[in-house]
Amino acid sequence: MPMPAAPCASPGWSPCCPTMHAISSDRVRTRGFTLLELLVAITLLAILAVLAWRGLDSMTRTHEALAQRDERIEALKTAYAQFDADCTQLADPATLSRSPVEVDADRVLLVRDRRDEGQPPAWQVVLYRAVNGRLERLQSAPLTNRGDLRGALDSLRQGGANAAIYKLADAVDGIAARAWIEPGGWMDNTGALSAALFPGGSNTTTLAELPAASAVSASAPAANGVVVPVATVRAVELALLVRMTPQGTPQRFTRICMTGL
């Protein structure tokens, strides 16, 4: 008769004890992560989260910068379109008996013709200037006599207290302008412009005696004893220094506008 197997003496695993072998295998299979493994996993997840956040933040900043750049380019297009319209309607120096363009540091002043339907011909003084990072356009009311024109010129030279002010663009650090005089070439200051147009001096002391805007003609200045200009303004160049991004270096934008004179 075969002898029965002796019971296992040891409580641990033993080839002679299949029951204990099964229990030990179950314990091995159900063992979890150690504390060190959890810390390593959490650290890796934190690093991946930081990298993902930085990538997303960089993409967001790039998108915002591109959107801001597009917005400022559109604003510059609008500003130059308005400046081009003002230059196209520039008043004739012979009619004004003075230069219709004044250029100084961070501003340019123009005298333009105003022709509104149903209204008498008039002049209008406009000023482009850079103030506190903004490009502004100031304009006077329509002017039908030379006395009002002289007052509007003085007012806008001093800041335009009663003028309408329109903001054209932001982030404008500077503005510069010059005019092409034919004959003469480019000139970037008011004194040179006046000297080129009126070598003998313009008749600025009798403006009130000259004809009103509704009565002017090419022969009117000579008929009233006013000095006739020997040159004319063919074009005006407007240059702007613009920051396309908050931390970026200012970029120079230039536009040459023909006057039609």
Measure the CA–CA gap between 252 and 146, rounded to whole angstroms: 37
Q: Which residues 6+ apart lie within 8 Å of 2 measured at CB?
A: none
pLDDT for position 106: 87
* Confidence at residue 246, expressed as pLDDT on a 0 to 100 scale: 81
pLDDT at 215: 43
Bond prior to 11 in cis (omega within 30° of 0): no
Cα distances (angstroms) measured from residue 57 to each of 53, 74, 148:
6, 26, 56
Nearest to 151 by CA among 127, 132, 125: 125
The residue behind tokens 């090419």 is 218
pLDDT band for position 49 (cuts 50, 70, 90): confident
Q: What is the mean pLDDT of residues 83-109?
A: 94
C-alpha 127/C-alpha 145 separation (Å) is 19
Residue with the larger pLDDT of the pair 147 and 246: 147
User: Residues 166-185: what's their mean pLDDT?
Assistant: 95
Residue among 121, 99, 93 nearest 220 (CA): 93
**Is 80 exceeded by the pLDDT of residue 157?**
yes
Residue 252 pairs in a beta bridge with 241
Which residue type sits at 77? K
Instruction: Point out the least confidently predicted range of 3-7, 45-49, 86-90, 255-259.
Output: 3-7
- Inform me whether the pLDDT recorded for 150 exceeds 90: yes
Encode pLDDT of 104-144 as tens digits: 888 999 999 998 888 899 999 999 999 999 999 999 999 99
